[in-house]
Amino acid sequence: MSDFLIENVRLIDPSSRLDHIGGMLVRDGKITDFGAALGRPDGIEIIDGHGAILCPGLVDMRVDLGEPGFEFRETVASAALAASAGGITTLAALPDSKPAVDDPALVRLLRSRGEETGRISVLPYGAATRRCAGEEICEIGLLREAGAVAFTDGAKAIRSSRMMRNLLSYAAAFGAMIIQHAEDPDLAIGGTATQGELATRLGLPSIPAAAEAIIVARDIRLAELSGGAIHFAHISTAEALTLIRVAKDRGLRVTCDTAPPYFDLNETAIGSYRTFAKLSPPLRSDLDRLAVVAGLADGTIDAIASDHQPRDADDKRLPFAQAAPGGVGLATLLGVTLAQVHNGELPLMRAIEMLTVAPAKLLGSEAGVFAKGLPADLCLFDLEIVWQVSVGSLPGKAQNTPFDGRALEGRVTGTWKAGRRVYV
């Protein structure tokens, strides 16, 4: 690890609303100074940023690591490579692995596995219920003590209203939130595409958009009843966003995130049964997509997560109805988000905020900010570099991206983790 000065960069830190040209000095892996008029100390490396943007390392609050149990899809090490290429230095790992993260030892293991890579910090979610089976509440206090940042059953909705009420109350006692996959299981069972003309024409079993809103409405009411904090993951519909907006206006402890497919793609991306675009929740109508874009801009949506769900070729090389849902998103998280900046829908400061300090705050992490004395977790990116997403050339093990062939403007040119350059 060397001391260095990055100069000739546009410093952007949403936590302090910093946005000006300058540089950053890093010593012993920590931020020593940053600003517009830094000198050049003797004996340190000088890095020319060439006018690119330097922001805090990105914080991704929804990642399926594949490990433990599904290493054939992804591992912590391979996910770390993809994260570094995407400017991500901190990520939250879903617990619905095999075995599920319902034991404090697994929480500690995932944290240490992240440290071993030298590239990422892993913030594990604890399973809300044992085995993520929805039948018995986990030992939330012990998992929290071991380092679990929040509690969820991952890609499974918590079906029982009584279970969710108890979870919200129990987690609140430990200062934790419950994260919900907002999809009514009974309405979603067997469905593969969003309900509408396209699903009918393709002959695909469908999931109504109301499946999301029904769970959101129920859990908002349960959060109010219990005083707990509920966070809705990968929100994708206009109706659900309206409910969340009203709940926030009422001062309830309700937050949400979305993922790039839900503001960049719509249901037509499944084309002729294109399984890389089979996601959970499914891609929606363009009206829903536009509502998600509006929710990003007006603050209804708190954060943007990659919703990285690795699948191997055998998971996807099947008829659409049988293929596994999910898409990778670590390497494309920033680029797809910046598309909303380039088209004028989202201010740059707001976009970076939802990728850094906003998710960090939700997770109770100090990451996602510039502050003297903190580890130098940094992301350098050029707004103008044009590149094309291509299956087979993405970093990491899994390649199942719904953005295959998508041209993006804006690319990471450097990532540092605790002052060590992990992506060039």
The verdict on residue 404 lying in a domain is: no
Supply the CATH number for residue 115's domain.
Answer: 3.20.20.140
pLDDT the model gives residue 1: 62
Domain count, the chain: 1
Active site annotation includes 307: yes
The verdict on residue 422 lying in a domain is: no
The verdict on residue 187 lying in a domain is: yes
Residue range of the domain that includes 127: 57-362
What six digits make up the tokens of 364?
Answer: 């109770």
The verdict on residue 288 lying in a domain is: yes
For every one of its 424 residues, what pLDDT tens digit does the chain have, with 9 covering 90 and above?
679 999 999 999 999 999 999 999 999 999 999 999 898 898 899 999 999 999 999 999 999 999 999 999 999 999 999 999 999 999 999 999 999 999 999 999 999 999 999 999 999 999 999 999 999 999 999 999 999 999 999 999 999 999 999 999 999 999 999 999 999 999 999 999 999 999 999 999 999 999 999 999 999 999 999 999 999 999 999 999 999 999 999 999 999 999 999 999 999 999 989 999 999 999 999 999 999 999 999 999 999 999 999 999 999 999 999 999 999 999 999 999 999 999 999 999 999 999 999 999 999 999 999 999 999 999 999 999 999 999 999 999 999 999 999 999 999 999 999 999 999 9
The verdict on residue 327 lying in a domain is: yes
Predicted structure pTM score: 0.97
pLDDT the model gives residue 83: 98
pLDDT the model gives residue 420: 98
The verdict on residue 151 lying in a domain is: yes
The verdict on residue 424 lying in a domain is: no
The verdict on residue 105 lying in a domain is: yes
Task: Considering the candidates 64, 219, 307, 377, report the single residue annotated as catalytic.
Answer: 307
